[in-house]
Amino acid sequence: MKLPGQSTTRSAEIRRRRDTQTKAARQNVNKARKNRVAIPPLPPVMARTPMAGASRPAAHSTRRGRRFYNVSLDAAQGMEMSLPALPRLIISWRLVSFIFVGLLGYALYFSWESPTFRVDAPQISGLERLSVNEVNSALRLVGEPVFMLDAATLEAALKDAFPEFSSVQVEIELPNSVAITVTERMPVLTWSKGGESFLVDDQGVTFPVRSTAPSGSYPVIEASGDPPQVILSPEKSVTLRDETISKITGVLLPQLSPRDQVRPLISPDMVEAALLLAKQAPTGAKMIYDPVHGLGWTDRRGWNVYLGDAQDIATKVLVYRAIMAHLKGGEALPTMISVEYLHAPYYRIGE
């Protein structure tokens, strides 16, 4: 039979043993921690690249740490040699932009200074009366950078400098080619006024007489005044609406450009009449023009003959010959014969 005090004593003994074991286990753990040897960290895992046969650090390695590449010496025995990697070069966009700007600047400087891109001598075709030297002297293109030239500007400059050009076409090609094709106006008569002479083509457009151009035997008209202003054809005329738009916008319309509208001095009909009159006039007669009486000539015997405008020149010449036949039998010579109006011709007799 157990006594009540024995159960209490045994429980206390069991708790004491349990506390002793727990305390000993804690002491062993602390002792093991103190005696633990510091183990160095494992080297970073290397990942092999399939193309070069080398290896590179895995993605979890430190970014700033020095990288090493393991080169396989003997695959069968697993022998490798660790080599240090070259530092990685990082090229920024600023550096690339700076290099690009530098190369572009050098290219521009080379193009500006290089004789390869400078015009040597323009190729000019279509000249009839003018010389190549005259055109080159007006343009002054020799030695100019080809990329600074503009075809439209050169065409306008040629038309301003040489009114005898009816059309001009300029083509510019790299590296230094400039090709110019022109069409010259061909003179048919000479218009003289106040000691100054101009050549006139079949459209009535005038241009200067150049000493270097070959001279020709053209009929000469001595004018005592200016002819009536030539009215341009409807396709070249300027309407009020065009002028209003040009003034509001400040932009010259094609119809308003003076280079595109060469205003003739006389009409083509008057040119044709003057040429016909030169053939019908007596030998030695001087062609004249008067703002009041129109076209005519001065007979070598001293009187003036006026035929008016360019209408019915052939018929007016026949009337003049009839008047001369009527006066041939008389003793007095005329001082002036006018056939300006077919229905009312008249003449004056000198005293």
Tokens of 184: 């010259």
Give the residue from 184, 199, 218 where a domain finishes.
Answer: 184
pLDDT of residue 227: 87
Tokens of 27: 């002491």
Residue 241 resides in a domain = no
Quick one: which H or E segment has residue 101? helix 93-113
Give bridge partners of residue 306 from the DSSP assignment.
296, 338
| Higher-pLDDT residue of 93, 49 | 93
Kindly state whether residues 112 and 151 are assigned to the same domain: yes
Give bridge partners of residue 178 from the DSSP assignment.
172
Q: How do beta strands 165-173 and 123-125 pair?
A: unpaired
Asked if residue 46 lies in contact with residue 56, where contact means CB atoms within 8 angstroms, the answer is yes
pLDDT of residue 212: 75
Domain of residue 270, CATH code: 3.40.50
pLDDT of residue 56: 52
At residue 248, the 3 state secondary structure works out as: helix
The pLDDT tens digits of the residues spanning 214-235 come to: 777 889 999 999 888 776 555 4
Kindly state whether residues 222 and 317 are assigned to the same domain: yes
Range of the domain at 158: 95-184
293-309: string of b/e by CB count within 10 Å (b at 16+)? bbbbbbbeeebbbbbbb
Rounded CA separation 308/281 (Å): 14
Tokens of 151: 């075809």
Kindly state whether residues 167 and 102 are assigned to the same domain: yes
Give bridge partners of residue 311 from the DSSP assignment.
none
Kindly state whether residues 346 and 209 are assigned to the same domain: yes
Q: Shortest CA distance to 233 belongs to which of 206, 253, 263, 207?
A: 263
| Higher-pLDDT residue of 331, 313 | 313
Give the residue from 151, 184, 217 where a domain finishes.
Answer: 184
pLDDT of residue 255: 45
Rounded CA separation 199/214 (Å): 12
Count other C-beta atoms under 10 Å from residue 92's C-beta: 8
Tell me how many domains the chain contains. Answer: 2
Residue 147 resides in a domain = yes
Residue 89 resides in a domain = no
- Give the least confident one: 60-64, 214-218, 274-278: 60-64
The pLDDT tens digits of the residues spanning 125-181 come to: 999 989 999 999 888 888 888 888 899 999 999 999 999 999 999 999 988 889 999
Whether residue 260 is predicted with pLDDT greater than 70 in this model: the reply is: no
Kindly state whether residues 216 and 314 are assigned to the same domain: yes
Burial class (CB in 10 A: 0-12, 13-18, 19+), 204: buried
Rounded CA separation 296/274 (Å): 9
| Higher-pLDDT residue of 238, 93 | 93
Rounded CA separation 325/46 (Å): 128
Q: pLDDT > 90: what percent of the chain?
A: 28
For residues 302, 305, 306, 307, the Cα torsion angle rounded to the nearest 10 degrees is -160
Residue 144 resides in a domain = yes
Residue 6 resides in a domain = no
Q: How do beta strands 68-74 and 334-338 pair?
A: unpaired
Kindly state whether residues 146 and 207 are assigned to the same domain: no
Q: Shortest CA distance to 215 belongs to which of 197, 202, 235, 195?
A: 197
Q: Shortest CA distance to 178 belongs to which of 128, 141, 148?
A: 141
| Higher-pLDDT residue of 320, 71 | 320
